[in-house]
Chain A
Amino acid sequence: MIDLEERIAETLHDRAPVFVRQMPKGTVARVRIRQSIGSFATVALVAALVVGAVALSSWVPRSVQPASRQTVQAPSGVLPSPQGVEGGVNDATAAPASDPSATEDTSAHDTNSTVPYTEQVKGQEVYLLTQKHVVSFGHVSGVEWSLAAYDTKPYSGDQFSRFLGGSCGDLMVGDQGEYGGIGFCLHTGETAPDAAFAMAGFGNASDPNVRPIIGYAGLVGSQVSSVELRLSGGGTRQLPLYDAPSGIGARYFEVFVAEGTGGHIVALGSNGAELGSGSLCISQPPSGPDNVGCGHGLEGVSSVVTSFAEPPTSTP
């Protein structure tokens, strides 16, 4: 260990000698210009905010709802809808003012890019039929995430968990997956061979500098026409379905939610029939035998399962 660390340190010092540099001509002027621009931008921003606030206050009809009776949304809910923002930057997304998760930032992209992180495991060739293709990525609480799609062949060896073959996916969090991630497959020992829906949940509250990150991701077969997020406090939202490259016969979804959010994700057929559902149970996993696949909540990365067998939550 020490030998390796010494080699690293020696190599780095050898490769990066430090030389004193003279300041090039024009640098002072450029610094002054930047200062001027910064000052002007600040003044302009303040002015715009003041004008906007005045305009808003004159536009909103005050008699509609007294302040003391205004509806306050419960402290849970879905983070702001995915936005098409260029990846790789701090793409904080403005949320509606009434959304309690307005301070969160999250974005998603339809993409074929392979730049975002994908989990590569030594020896994975024994079960991978395709490469891992990123179908969506973005940021949540300032942390990067990526959703990858891939296809597998049957595998029953000792090196990895058993694969029955078919479409799978990974949701990884962190620029290098350092916050962990989850994997899910359409066909597992727990799902029927013709399963149309599978999902998993992710929870991580290990970083004191980052709010707890809770997300769910999954995939659906061709029988499914839409996937809905149904919050326990009421409210339903259709989740985007991301296509995978040809050769991977599934579409993928993901959603990040605020801590404490409960409910279900439901896959629907074209006739409105429920073809599968999974519970949003990462925040508050049931205790004892009632905990079926909800993991250990936010104590670590947990994998929730899917469930074709779970009873429907409601009749469409």
Chain B
Amino acid sequence: MGVEGAETLEGVASMPTSRLAGLYEEHVGRAVALATLLTGDRYIAEDIAHDAFLRVAGRFGELRDPAAFGAYLRTTVVNLCRARVRRLERERTVLRRHTEAGVMEPDTSADDRDQVWSFIKGLPYRQRAALVLRYWEDLSEGQIGEILRCSPRAVNALLSRAKEQLRDNIGRSEG
């Protein structure tokens, strides 16, 4: 997510509405895509991206580096997705107690044709986040570590586990 376009920004309070709209158009589309990959649900992603924009824009004057608006937005999206995924997992846990095992397994229905995507969605959140930030955002392990609040080595471990899990699942599905 680029920061260009934000370097000349002043505080949001003094920012014309048109500039705020420009900021929105520049960054929120990508934030929605990121949230979609992290939550697996485009509707939830739309909510999260908009909420994240409000939060970051609302404290624009407090940002250490206002030029990095996109980076702040990205971190906020990852954190909001994490909270949302956790809540969903709690709800699923309760649901699972009342239903038969396997109901909430990763989606492999006909609607979800791409098996790799299905397996990615089935990964634990931090593994999935590391994978998305690495292979979709193209961030370094150090940058990912700053967002996930862990060391590059821990990021490397998360990526290794994720890929190992994917390799196993793909291997099994392909016989």
Interface residues of A (CB under 8 A from B): 1, 4-5, 7-9, 11-24, 27-28, 30-35, 37-38, 88-89, 113-115, 117, 142-143, 174-176, 178-179, 206-210
For B54, the chain A residues whose CB sits under 8 A away are: 27, 30-31, 34
Q: Are A16 and B37 in contact (CB under 8 A)?
A: yes
Q: When chains A and B are docked, how far (Å) is the Cα of A282 from the Cα of B24?
A: 51
CB pair B131 A8 closer than 8 Å = yes
Residue in B50, B86, B135, B149 whose beta carbon sits within 8 Å of that of A5 in the complex = B135
The CA of A11 and the CA of B166, in the complex, are separated in Å by 12
B114 pairs with A11, CB closer than 8 A: yes
In this assembly, does B127 line the interface, its C-beta being within 8 Å of a C-beta of chain A? yes
Which residue among A22, A176, A207, A210 has the maximum number of chain B CB atoms within 10 Å of its CB? A176
Is A21's CB under 8 angstroms from B25's CB?
A: yes
- Which chain B residues border A17 with CB–CB below 8 Å? 33
Identify the stretch in B58-66, B70-78, B103-111 within 8 Å (CB) of chain A at 4 or more residues. Answer: B58-66
CA distance A21 to B120 in the complex (A): 26
Chain A residues positioned under 8 Å from B24 (CB to CB): 21-23, 27
Are the CB atoms of A113 and B150 closer together than 8 Å?
Answer: no
Contacts of B29 in A (CB 8 A): 18-21
Interface size on B, residues (CB 8 A): 55
Known: A21-B28, A27-B50, A28-B20. 10 other contacts (CB 8 A): A8-B131, A9-B135, A18-B30, A22-B24, A27-B54, A34-B58, A35-B60, A88-B86, A115-B86, A206-B151
Q: State the CA gap A210–B149 with chains docked (Å).
A: 9
Complex interface: chain A residues within 8 A of B117 (CB)? 11, 14-15
Partner of A16, one of B89, B93, B125, B136: B136
Interface assignment of B17: CB less than 8 Å from any CB of chain A: yes
**Considering residues B25, B33, B127, which has the most beta carbons from chain A within 10 angstroms of its beta carbon?**
B33
Residues in chain B near residue A209, CB distance under 8 A: 145, 149-151
B5 is an interface residue with CB less than 8 A from chain A: no
From residue B62, how far is it (CB to closest CB) to chain A in Å?
7
**Contact A208:B151 (CB < 8 A) given known A14-B114, A30-B54:** yes
Which residue of the partner chain, among B17, B37, B157, contacts A28 with CB atoms under 8 Å? B17
Q: Offer 19 A-B interface pairs, CB within 8 angstroms, sorted by A.
A: A8-B116, A8-B120, A8-B166, A14-B114, A16-B136, A18-B29, A18-B32, A21-B24, A21-B28, A31-B58, A32-B12, A34-B58, A35-B12, A35-B59, A88-B83, A176-B158, A176-B161, A208-B151, A209-B149
